[in-house]
DNA sequence: ATGGTCGAGTATCGA
C-alpha cells in the first residue's frame, strides 16, 4: 500500500499539479492539507476521474484537509471526537482506507512562542492524542499523515541556529509531538532514512528551495502493525520544482501487502 | 542593496 501526504497550499490553484502527480506517483491514499476550499467547492469529480474516492473537511478561506483513496473510503469523521467542543478550524479528517485508519492533519502553525496561536497549537496536539485514544487502537493499522508544523529534531532543519526562539523547533512542540507518538506511532520516513538535510518544506522567499534551506515538518506516523511493513519512503522534491509549485513536497510511504 | 514570495481576496493577513 502506498500512502502519501502533501500540503498543497490551495487546491484551487494546485489541482493541475496534484492531478499530474497522482498520474505518476499513483498512491493508494493521498492526504492533503491547506486545500483552502469549502466542501461545496472541493473538486471531487477530478479525483473520481482518476479512480479516487474523496472526503474533504473545509470551510473556505483557510485550512481545509482531504483524503482521496482508490482502496475505499469508509467511516469518515470530520474533526475531533474526543468529547470536547468542536475545533474552531478545519484541520483534521479521518477515514478507513484499505484496512488502515487514516487521518489527514494540519497542525496549527503557532506563529510565535508568545502568541495565543502557539498555545492553540500545543492544545491541538493534546486533542489529537485524545482523539486517537477515543477512536483508534495502536495495535491495528493506523496512519496519521500531514503537516505537523514541527521539525522533530535539529537534523530536520537547515540551520538550527536560525530557529532559536522560533516555532517548529521549541521543546514544548517537540514534546507534544513525542507525546502523540507515545500513543503508539512511529515516524515512517525515519524507519527508512537516517540522513540529515532531507526536507519537505521550503519557504517561497529568498530562493530557499534552491539554497536547500528547508524543514522536515510533513510526516507519516504509523502504528506498529504498519511500521513493521514499511518498505520504502521518499520525499518527491521534483514536485516542489517547476510551474506553480506548493511550498511543500509530497511524502510517500510504501508498506508491504 | 537590510529586501526577497506566495495565496487568500482586493487591504492586509497567514504561512
Q: What is the pLDDT of residue A115?
A: 96
Nucleotide B14's nearest residue (CA vs C1') is: A62
Nucleotide nearest to A7 (CA to C1'): B15
Residue showing cell 519512503: A233
pLDDT digits (tens, 9 = 90+) for A181-236: 999 999 999 999 999 999 999 999 999 999 999 999 999 999 999 999 999 999 99
pLDDT digits (tens, 9 = 90+) for A59-105: 989 999 999 999 999 999 999 998 889 999 999 999 999 999 999 99
Nucleotide nearest to A60 (CA to C1'): B8
Tell which residue, A102, A83, A79, has the closest CA to residue A92. Answer: A79
Rg of chain A over CA atoms, in angstroms?
17
Strand B nucleotides with an atom less than 7 Å from a protein beta carbon = 4-9, 14-15
What Å value separates CA A204 and C1' B5? Answer: 5
What Å value separates CA A138 and C1' B3? Answer: 48
> What ranges do the domains of chain A cover?
2-255
Nucleotide B3's nearest residue (CA vs C1') is: A206
Q: What is the pLDDT of residue A242?
A: 97
H or E segment at A180?
A: helix A171-181
What is the mean predicted confidence (pLDDT) over A162-175? 97
Nucleotide nearest to A37 (CA to C1'): B8
What Å value separates CA A205 and C1' B2? Answer: 15
Sorting pLDDT into bands at 50, 70 and 90, what band is A163? very high
Distance CA A137, CA A22 (A): 30
Sorting pLDDT into bands at 50, 70 and 90, what band is A18? very high
pLDDT digits (tens, 9 = 90+) for A118-150: 999 999 999 999 999 999 999 999 999 999 999
What Å value separates CA A179 and C1' B15? Answer: 25
Q: What is the pLDDT of residue A257?
A: 81
Q: What is the pLDDT of residue A9?
A: 98
Residues lining strand B at under 7 Å (Cβ) are A 9-10, 12-14, 36, 60-62, 108-109, 111, 117, 203-206, 244
What Å value separates CA A60 and C1' B10? Answer: 17
Q: What is the pLDDT of residue A84?
A: 86
Q: Which residues fall within 8 angstroms of residue A146, CB to CB, at 6 or more apart?
A: A5, A7, A31, A33, A65, A103, A104, A105, A106, A107, A218, A219
Q: What is the pLDDT of residue A82?
A: 84
Provide DSSP, A12-75: HHHHHHHHHHHHHH--SEEEEE----BGGG--HHHHHTTT-EEEEE-BSSS--EEEEESS--EE
pLDDT digits (tens, 9 = 90+) for A36-66: 999 999 999 999 999 999 999 999 899 999 9
Nucleotide B6's nearest residue (CA vs C1') is: A204
What is the mean predicted confidence (pLDDT) over A164-189? 98
Tell which residue, A34, A80, A20, A31, has the closest CA to residue A247. Answer: A34
Nucleotide nearest to A38 (CA to C1'): B8
Distance CA A162, CA A180 (A): 26
Q: Kindly tell me if the per-residue pLDDT of A7 is higher than 90.
A: yes
What Å value separates CA A212 and C1' B5? Answer: 16
Which CATH architecture best describes the domain A2-255?
4-Layer Sandwich (3.60)
Amino acid at each position: 500500500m502506498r500512502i502519501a501526504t502533501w500540503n498543497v497550499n490551495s487546491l484551487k490553484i494546485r489541482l493541475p499539479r496534484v492531478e499530474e502527480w497522482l498520474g505518476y506517483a499513483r498512491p493508494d491514499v493521498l492526504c492533503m492539507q491547506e486545500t483552502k476550499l469549502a466542501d461545496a467547492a472541493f473538486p471531487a469529480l477530478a479525483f473520481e476521474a482518476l479512480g479516487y474516492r474523496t472526503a474533504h473537511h473545509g470551510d473556505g478561506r483557510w485550512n481545509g484537509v482531504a483524503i482521496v483513496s482508490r482502496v475505499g473510503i469508509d467511516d469518515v469523521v470530520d474533526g475531533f471526537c474526543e468529547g470536547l467542543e468542536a475545533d474552531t478550524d478545519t484541520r483534521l479528517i479521518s477515514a478507513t482506507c484499505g484496512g488502515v485508519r487514516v487521518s489527514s492533519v494540519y497542525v496549527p502553525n503557532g506563529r510565535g512562542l508568545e502568541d495565543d496561536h502557539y498555545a492553540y497549537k500545543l492544545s491541538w496536539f493534546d486533542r489529537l492524542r485524545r482523539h486517537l485514544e477515543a477512536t483508534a487502537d495502536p495495535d491495528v493499522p493506523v496512519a496519521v499523515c500531514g503537516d505537523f508544523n514541527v521539525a522533530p529534531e535539529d537534523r530536520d532543519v537547515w540551520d538550527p541556529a536560525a530557529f532559536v526562539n522560533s516555532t517548529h523547533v521549541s521543546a514544548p512542540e517537540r514534546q507534544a509531538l513525542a507525546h502523540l507518538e507515545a500513543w503508539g506511532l512511529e515516524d515512517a520516513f525515519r524507519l527508512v532514512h537516517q540522513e540529515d538535510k532531507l526536507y519537505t518544506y521550503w519557504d517561497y522567499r529568498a530562493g530557499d528551495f534552491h539554497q536547500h534551506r528547508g524543514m522536515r515538518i510533513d510526516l507519516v506516523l504509523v502504528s506498529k502493525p504498519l511500521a513493521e511493513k514499511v518498505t520504502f519512503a521518499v520525499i518527491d522534491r521534483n514536485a516542489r520544482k517547476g510551474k506553480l509549485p506548493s511550498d511543500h513536497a509530497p511524502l510517500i510511504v510504501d508498506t508491504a501487502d
